[in-house]
Amino acid sequence: MNVKQKIKEAWPTREAMKQIYSMKLWGDNHSDFYSGIGSHHPELVKPYIEALSSYLQTFKSAPVICDLGCGDFNIGKHLVQYAETYIGVDIVEELIDYNSRTFTDENLEFRCLDIAVDDLPAAEVVILRQVLQHLSNDEIHNILTKLSHYKYLILTEHLPQGEFVPNKEIISGQGTRLKKQSGVNLLAPPFHFKVKEEKNLLTIPSEDHKGVIKTTLYTLY
């Protein structure tokens, strides 16, 4: 008799992300909140900050920036200086409380939101750095329906090296599509996200050399 494999049920995203930080599933680094090596490894962080700093300085006047999934803010803290207002958003309330106490620039604010469910702050530039790779296709779709409010999207994703089948389904949480030899491509099915222009800002090998970290600038309609 065949035994049916138990189907893994999705856990609410907020609870999954709270567990990641409380159980330090992305590492510790001797800090209360740690967003993982992808937000701290110098070989990943330094080129990213340089690329975004260079781009953000091309604006004639400093833009309002909305950082969706700002995490422990180890990266965002370097970009605040280029914004009229910088809005850091994350789903974990304790993390947002910690960031609000730790980072206190006058043009900086933090908000606790579920970006797949809640209304998003108004801004000119939206940053999504290695966030969508942890989310289900349904949640990604819900987020995409809200991005028309922005003029520019800076998207960073951990992708397999070379050719791959994009957007394989996963359950939202700690993992990514890499385990399925897949990654997020917003322009491909099932999303078919429409953009005016696409520009590669940065592509670097991942810290474990399993794929690449790609940052793309999209000009939106």
- Is 8 among the domain residues? no
Smallest Cα–Cα separation from 178: which of 208, 198, 221, 199?
208
**Cβ proximity of 173 and 16 under 8 Å:** yes
- The whole domain housing 65 covers 13-219
Query: 153 or 30: whose pLDDT is higher?
Result: 153
pLDDT of residue 210: 83
- Is 184 among the domain residues? yes
Q: What is the pLDDT of residues 147-157, one digit of tens each?
A: 989 999 999 99
pLDDT of residue 94: 95
Write down the pTM of the prediction: 0.90
Q: What is the pLDDT of residues 86-136, one digit of tens each?
A: 999 999 999 999 999 999 999 999 999 999 999 999 999 999 999 999 999
- Is 96 among the domain residues? yes
What is the greatest pairwise CA distance in the chain? 69
Q: How many domains does the chain fold into? A: 1
Q: What is the pLDDT of residues 73-87, one digit of tens each?
A: 999 999 999 999 999
- Is 80 among the domain residues? yes
Kindly write down the DSSP assignment for every residue of 7-59, as one continuous string.
PPPPPPHHHHHHHHHHTTTT--TTSS----GGGT-HHHHHHHHHHHHHHHTTS
8: confidence class by pLDDT, cuts 50, 70, 90? low
Does residue 199 register a pLDDT over 90?
Answer: yes
Percent of the chain with pLDDT over 70: 95
**Own/partner pairs, 83-88, CB within 8 angstroms, 24+ separation:** 83/56, 83/107, 85/109, 85/123, 87/111, 87/121, 87/123
- Is 189 among the domain residues? yes
pLDDT of residue 5: 43
CATH number of 47's domain: 3.40.50.150
- Is 2 among the domain residues? no
- Is 108 among the domain residues? yes
Does residue 2 register a pLDDT over 60?
Answer: no
- Is 124 among the domain residues? yes
